[in-house]
Structures are given as structure tokens and as C-alpha cells.
Amino acid sequence: MNKFQTLIKLILENNKDFHETRNSQHKPLDLLILLILNQSTTDELSDRAFKNFKINYPNYKMLLAENNIENLIKSIKICGLSKIKANYILNALNYLHEHNWLNINLDFIHTLSDEEALKVLIKIKGIGIKSASCLLMFAFKRGTFPIDTHLFRILKRVGNIMPAETNLVKAHKFLQPQVQGELAYQVHVALIELGRKICIAGKNPKCSICYLNSICEKKIQ
């Protein structure tokens, strides 16, 4: 059993419920927009920006018809990098519209394999491998394994799981073959929760109560 397998074993032993509501409650296209808004900011601010966005644009055809980036920037300003994210949103919607996918609200994903869907999604400017993997996992119940900052931090602290000098993209490619299907969802959700509450960012993670303490190389005594 390698270290990643040991980590998975500890996750399954120490978590009784694997349930996530924030991303799973959204329709696919809404989640795509939320994932763009969530880049380089907190969940709280991106959620508030998304709420403002939906108030101003109850449907996506309205946004495309208006095609006014300044109004879009104002509606999402609270989450930061609003000009960049507004461009990403319009680019994504126009890309989908040009491919006759907007009207079916990303249902074309159902006709593609995980690998094919990832290749299509990351062609959209502003959608990286993490966002694409999250979209597939939460909106389409696929067995992709998104590596976000929480997971990346935890796995680096535990040590000897990923090759040295690994970035988020390389981490996804390395770990995805090792965890798929329902297990990918379980591990992802559990590590997100661990990263938010225990293996927190900064110098003071709560190592004494972490169930990965026995295998972690960066634990604080």
C-alpha cells in the first residue's frame, strides 16, 4: 500500500458522511459561472457575486443580448478581478453559443467521456483543469478528481504522494488515475472539509486533531 492509498484508507475510516451542497445544488451552466467567479477569492465573496449576477441576469440569453461588459463587471465586482472574470464569462457563453451548446445548457457533456469533456472544457479561456474537473464531478456526477488549493496544500504537507516540484495541473494528471468514480468524490469532499477546518492555510494547522497526523511529514508538534 503506497502513501496515497494509506491516506484514502484514513479518510474512509474517519468520515461517515460524504456530502457537499455548495456546488452540487447548481445547474451545470450556473456552476460553470460560479467556478469562474470563485477563482482567486473566497467562497463567501464568489457566492455573493454569483447572487448579484443572477439578479441582474436571470437568464444567459439576456446577458448575451446585452453584451455590455461594464454592466457585467459591476454585477460581480465584489469577488475581485471582475474585469478578467467578466471577460471569461462572456467568452465562455459565446463559445458555447457558437457551438450551439448554450440552448441545451451543457447537456452535450453527457455524450462525452470524462477525458473528452475535460479536453473540450479547458479549451474555454478561463476554465482550467481544476474548474473543469469540479464541473464534471458536481454537475455531472463524474469520477474526476479536482485538485484545488486545499487538497494541494494537504497533499504537499503529508508528503511523498506527488512528485517533487508538482503544480496543480501536474497533480491532477498524476492523481486522477489513482482515484476515480465515487471514491474520487469521497476523497475530494473529505479533504476540502479537512482543509477548511483542520489542515488550514498558514502557520497554525490543527495537527493534534487531524486524522492524517500519523502519516504527515509537516505536522506541528
CA distances from 183 to 12, 28, 59, 117, 136 (A): 9, 21, 34, 20, 14
Q: Which residue has the cell 458536481?
A: 138
- Cα–Cα distance for residue pair 134/90, rounded to 1 Å: 20
In residues, how long is the chain?
Answer: 221
| C-alpha span between 68 and 90 (Å, rounded) | 9
HSE on the CB side for 22, CA within 13 Å?
14
- Residue 197 to residue 14: CA distance in whole angstroms: 15
Q: CB–CB of 7/158 below 8 Å?
A: yes
* Active site residue ranges: 130
The letter for the amino acid at 23 is N
Q: Using the structure block, give the residue that is written with the C-alpha cell 486533531.
A: 209
